[in-house]
Amino acid sequence: MAAEAPTIPLLTPYKMGKFNLSYSKSFLDYQRVVLAPLTRQRSYGNVPQPHAILYYSQRASEGGLLIAEATGVSDTAQGYKDTPGIWTKEQVEAWKPIVDGVHAKGGTFFCQIWHVGRVSNRVELYVLDSVQIDTRFDGGGNQVEVLSCSKSKVFFINKNEKDFQPNGQAPVSSTDKPFTAQVDANGIDFSQYTPPRRLRTDEIPQIVNDFRLAARNAIEAGFDGVEIHGAHGYLIDQFMKDQVNDRTDQYGGSLENRCRFALEIVEAVANEIGADKVGIRLSPFAEYIQAADSNPAALGLYIAESLNKFGILYCHVVAPRMKAAFWEKSECPNSLLPIRKAFRGTFLVAGGYNREDGNNAIAENHADLVVYGRFFLANPDLPKRFKLNAPLNKYNRDTFYTPDPVVGYTDYPFLEETA
């Protein structure tokens, strides 16, 4: 095993509002290393499952902050198979033992609440050679089509499967502009989406209320707070980015108008559960899911300054280098520093950080906390490995979004198991 290293910036104490991210009795100081909200698609039927208890508790530690995977605020908020929700009593009850597991380890747990907007009603597209299509019936009597190709890869398309939207309705957005088919997060498959329906002005308060109720439900489930998902091309981002938002009402046009929806949600959630329990995630520089802005630096600065009037706990921002894909870094002249200086609460950064990057971000006061996704996924004891400068497990992208409750989920080894 690697020799113990001196204390590093990532593992120095930090107090985030009333949350003291430090240890008292444990050997390790797990303070500034945060688990990112990671979609895992293992919440069958949009209900959190018991296997998530182990997954999150494996990554919890005394004083550590975890952010739960993106969790739908309503039945119109869904866009991916088997992602969790928090709009029903069943879902709230299912979250409770998962939250309890994190708290039993001394961790702090926030629930990320989201609405996907136009990223819904997905239809899978595959480019295959020598395609042969056969119609069959599965064991449940459902008609399915079996596609086979020269590479022996087979896909089942269940024609009786419901859309992600209730009653097969169109997904909602700031716009009615569709976007073109794109490569999925696995880097292999392509997806296209149903053209969205532009939300009427009088419908927007209902979406704001959905976020408010979801925040209330999260607190009922035992979460310490919520993170509003305002990033990565989903509904809130679809309002903020001028390459998507083409509205002519009070929610479109100027920077102030485009940010109005996001700030109304922040205000509603803060009023419901307390601003000291609210964070938000933003990605002004990203162009995920064809959601770009002509002046992302101005967008990021405006929203950061506007958040201050609500006194929320933290702002979690994705680095400019993560512009076009979740897993690819790119050279970028932009910096998060102006946003960092403008926001008066705790500042979290994410986006391909490694141990060295994270230490530098803390040491140079560019961030208070650093958020890790893939590295934390594959290394449930990531803070310990960072402390000891120990080797990291390699993550397996092929199992990021598979439904298996163990493989690629809770089977990554701890350091003691690899020594």
Contacts of 329 (CB under 8 A, 6+ apart): 321, 322, 351, 352
* Tokens read off for 370: 């650093």
Q: Is 234 a catalytic residue?
A: yes
**144: burial class by Cβ within 10 Å (0-12, 13-18, 19+)?**
middle
Which tokens go with 374? 């893939």
CB under 8 Å to 187, separation ≥6 — which residues? 327, 397
End-to-end CA distance of the chain: 6
CA–CA separation, 289 vs 283, rounded Å?
12
Distance between CA 363 and CA 366 in Å, rounded? 8
CA geometry: angle at 310 spanning 113 and 350, to 5°?
50
User: Could you say which of 55, 193, 234, 401 is catalytic?
Assistant: 234
Tokens read off for 352? 């391909």
- Answer whether 50's CB lies under 8 Å from 57's CB: no
Interior/surface letters 17-49, b for 16+ CB within 10 angstroms, e for the rest = bebebbbeeeebbbbbbbbbbbbbebbeebebb
What is the rounded CA–CA span in Å between residue 247 and residue 228? 23
- Give the DSSP letter string of 100-160: HHHHHTT-EEEEEEE--TTS-S-EEE---SS-EEEEEE-TTS-EEEEEE-TT---EEEETT
How is residue 194 written in tokens?
A: 């149903």
| Catalytic annotation, residues | 234
